[in-house]
Amino acid sequence: MEKNELIALAWQAAEKAYAPYSNWQVGAAVLGENGTVYTGCNIENASYGLTNCAERTAIFKMVSDGCLKFTAIAVVSGETCNGYPCGACRQVMSEFAAGGSVPVYISGKDGSCLTAAMSDLLPYAFEKETLLK
């Protein structure tokens, strides 16, 4: 699975975004360790705080399908590559990323792409190991 394929699938998912309040469409695609790509969009709610981000939609689809790790994720929105994942999504991504070096591709409609390692996006993540020690 190429970076550009993952980004293209994320854009397809963004078309399904339910974002009548912000009008900010986000798409995400995660490559599961099982080889399957799971996509997601942001899903807003009249009770704003119940909104689910695109990254978490995609990751929750992966986990609910029985796959617990992903090896790459693409997140797309806006015109340029500045639609960075929010803090809540970084924490959820960190739980299910196959390691700190997992690439996070952040891309915009102009085709620009920022690639960041998971551990650079969320250093000192709160981890499962801390609770299970």
Angle at 54 between CA 48 and CA 58, to 5 degrees: 130
Residue 44 in the binding site for ligand THU (CB under 6 A): yes
CA distances from 97 to 4, 69, 104, 122, 133 (A): 19, 5, 10, 11, 20
Residue 58 in the binding site for ligand THU (CB under 6 A): no
Residue 42 in the binding site for ligand THU (CB under 6 A): yes
Count of positions (residues) in the chain: 133
**Catalytically active residues, by annotation:** 55
Beta carbon of residue 44, minimum distance to ligand THU (angstroms, whole number): 5
Q: Are 32 and 81 in contact (CB under 8 A)?
A: no
Choose the binding region for ligand THU from 81-89, 96-104, 106-114, 116-124 (rule: CB under 6 A): 81-89
The binding site for ligand THU (CB under 6 A) comprises: 19, 22, 24, 26, 42, 44, 51, 53-55, 85-86, 89
